[in-house]
Chains A and B, each alone.
Chain A
Amino acid sequence: MMENSKTTAGFSSPRSDNFPAGLRVLVVDDDPTWLKILEKMLKKCSYEVTVCGLAREALNLLRERKDGFDIVISDVNMPDMDGFKLLEHVGLEMDLPVIMMSVDGETSRVMKGVQHGACDYLLKPIRMKELRNIWQHVLRKRMHEARDIGNHEMDQFDEVWMLNGTELLSGKKRKDFDNEKEISDSRCVDSSSMKKARVVWTVDLHQKFVKAVNQIGFDKAGPKKILDLMGVPWLTRENVASHLQKYRLYLTRLQKENEVKASFCGMKHPNVSSKENSPQNPVDVCADVINDKCSGVSGDKAIVQNGKANIYESKVKGVVSMPVAEPRSVVGDNFGSKTSLSDSFALINTDVKSLNVPTPYCFTGEAPQPQYKQDFKPRFPSCTQPTCSLNFVPSHEVRDRVSSKENKPSFFKSRSGVGKLSALEAIQPVSHQINFHALEQIPSTTWSMTSQNVDQNLVNGLQSSPGNLTLGSGSVVASLGEDASIQGECFPAYYGLRNIQQFDYSDPQTISGVPTCLYDTLRFDYEYPNDSLEGIVLDQGLFIV
């Protein structure tokens, strides 16, 4: 009855210089009426619109025209594929900003959208004015990519992006921008071919990536190292960096979506379900982990129980089945070693999962889950302004601060720092949440003792894996910036580290005095609807064209 896809403009036409005009939008919706309306609205915004009635069709389109689109708008409810799954595919494979749409504005749905990486969530009926500004997501993403990746260097990639949105991007983040702009201007003639260096992460490529990551050890894996190991000449470090971010994100989510019943304490026996709880004092576990060189790896892991890492390993190729073989290592001694990313995530994710089921919260032994539940209401932190949520701390910045070894909470407590972090923290795994609260109940002395060690580890960790520091994909962060509705979800261990770091930096007595907004951002509704295992399927299907 309806056309599956229809292009209203040329194929992969280069972006015009009067950005945002000419923004190439792909609209995906099974409702032909809305498709028609949206097409018209977007055209009126001077965008280049392509409409598509089927999610699969849309994915094919995106894959075929690798750099053919700037942004995707998709409905949540579609018959052939869940909108969230499409969202994930797009985020991972094409790294494009995705806006979700639905007639349903329930918080849980919106949260799900954000958690799956949507940079915005629009409610139907959609007004044209909402569409007028969607270009900001594209811009934001570019900015983040440019910043995530480079530390101080501005390489060709950055220049290209800068070039495409020159007025908008100019002078924002880089010193020497003027110089660089000149350089990029002169280079623009050459760089047109790399204008949209969108990498399609095929199965092969991704496997190489995962292999490299595991070889290095996720906690140490930084984009450069991974890139070197992968040996793919045309791949850039930025590509790897941004893929790494997403990888973490998705791994985390996958783990979460496995129905893990493991409790926190059962960490030592990652393959065992919740029944076996580790007798180890969680506090000690934390301390152990922190004391270890857990570079880039969060102490959270110590707290977290990995119940279903084995599921994970079967799903993600190249993942070391560490939890199976060495339960102990999970606890503490091997974090500094080649712990694979997936394991880390497995830990975190299972932990997260366990939060959602009424398993004995043996972490502190005294914090029943319901208690947490009510703490975590969706809160929109007032301190998360668009700027700070967007500008999550770039690695070099953090490194600078950390290496100053002030051991002051300034990084975390300063207004801007907190603001930034709050955006970050807000997307933390539920486990982080738990840790927060759990830690509160831990005698403060324990933490203060380890603070120095953590400090050291953090410095090491941060320095060794700059890429790791950056938070999530641009799209996710962008979503933070969008509506400040930062709801949490599982996050890579690294963020957990930061969480712990926070405690350590701050006076134990001030744990409870954590800046309110930061605290608030950590609160989110535990009632995260784990109603689909799409993540698992996603993983397999992700790179299969």
Chain B
Amino acid sequence: MERNHHLHRQLANLRQSFFDQGYLDEQLIQLEELQDDANPNFVEEVVTLFYKDSARLIHSIDQALEKNPLDFAKLDSHMHQFQGSNSSIGAKKVKTECTQFREYCRAGNVEGCKRTFQQLKREYALLKTKLEAYFEVA
């Protein structure tokens, strides 16, 4: 049982690190509260769904960033959508990038948009890895 205990602790630490390191906000807690006997894997399901659905948004933005000249309105709209989606799992660092991206859109800053989006994708992917690891253990 010690191993289980150890795993539990690992899990708890991992979970706490999400908060401490600013990856996730309290939305995770909200999701956990929704998890019950009827939906025992609710949190994982939501996260999975998020990544699946947001992938196409990421793709759309990538494509839109290839265009020349950039359609900032459209980019902003895509990002707005993504931001809404992102709030469902409360990915904090990703959200910061979203906000920054939209600011650059409004300012018409091509470089800024592109740079920020790269950063966003990094954070997005990093979080995904961490969450996958988490659910593996959970």
Contacts and interface: CB of A to CB of B under 8 A. Distances in A.
A104 B88 contact: no
B26 to A, nearest CB: 9
Interface in A1-36: 1-2, 31-34, 36
B49 interface: yes
Interface in B54-88: 54, 77, 80-81, 83-85, 87-88
Contacts of A152: none
Nearest to B47: A33
B134 interface: no
B33 interface: yes
Given A33-B50, A36-B45, A128 B84 contact: no
Contact of A104 (B34, B39, B46, B80): B80
A349 interface: no
A37 B34 contact: yes
B27 interface: yes
Nearest to A1: B53
Nearest to A104: B80
B49 A125 contact: no
B34 A128 contact: yes
B87 A103 contact: yes
A75 B84 contact: yes
A77 B87 CA distance: 14
B34 A31 contact: no
A56 interface: no
B93 to A, nearest CB: 16
Contact of A103 (B30, B46, B80): B80
A128 B42 CA distance: 15
A102 B33 CA distance: 22
B89 A33 contact: yes
A127 B84 contact: no
Nearest to B86: A103
Main secondary structure of the interface of B (DSSP, over half): helix
Residue among B45, B54, B87 facing the most chain A CB atoms (10 A cut-off) = B87
Interface residues of B, number: 24
Contacts of B77: 77
A33 B83 contact: no
A436 B118 CA distance: 53
Interface string A195-234: 0000000000000000000000000000000000000000
Given A40-B34, A40-B39, A44-B34, A124 B49 contact: no
A33 B80 contact: no
B84 A31 contact: yes
A102 B87 CA distance: 10
A32 B80 contact: no
B27 A125 contact: yes
A99 to B, nearest CB: 16
B30 A77 contact: no
A40 B33 CA distance: 10
Contact of A40 (B27, B42, B50, B84): B42
A52 interface: no
A41 interface: yes
A103 B84 CA distance: 5
B34 A77 contact: no
B42 A33 contact: no
A336 to B, nearest CB: 49
Given A34-B85, A37-B88, A40-B42, 14 more contacts: A2-B53, A31-B88, A32-B53, A33-B53, A33-B85, A33-B88, A36-B49, A37-B31, A40-B39, A103-B80, A103-B84, A103-B87, A125-B27, A125-B90
29 contacts: A1-B53, A31-B88, A32-B49, A32-B53, A33-B53, A33-B85, A33-B88, A33-B89, A34-B84, A34-B85, A34-B88, A36-B45, A36-B46, A36-B49, A37-B46, A37-B88, A40-B34, A40-B39, A41-B34, A44-B34, A75-B84, A77-B80, A77-B84, A102-B84, A103-B84, A103-B87, A124-B87, A124-B88, A125-B88
Task: Give the 9 A-B residue pairs with the shortest CB-CB distance, closest first.
Answer: A103-B84, A33-B88, A125-B87, A33-B50, A124-B87, A40-B34, A33-B49, A125-B27, A103-B83
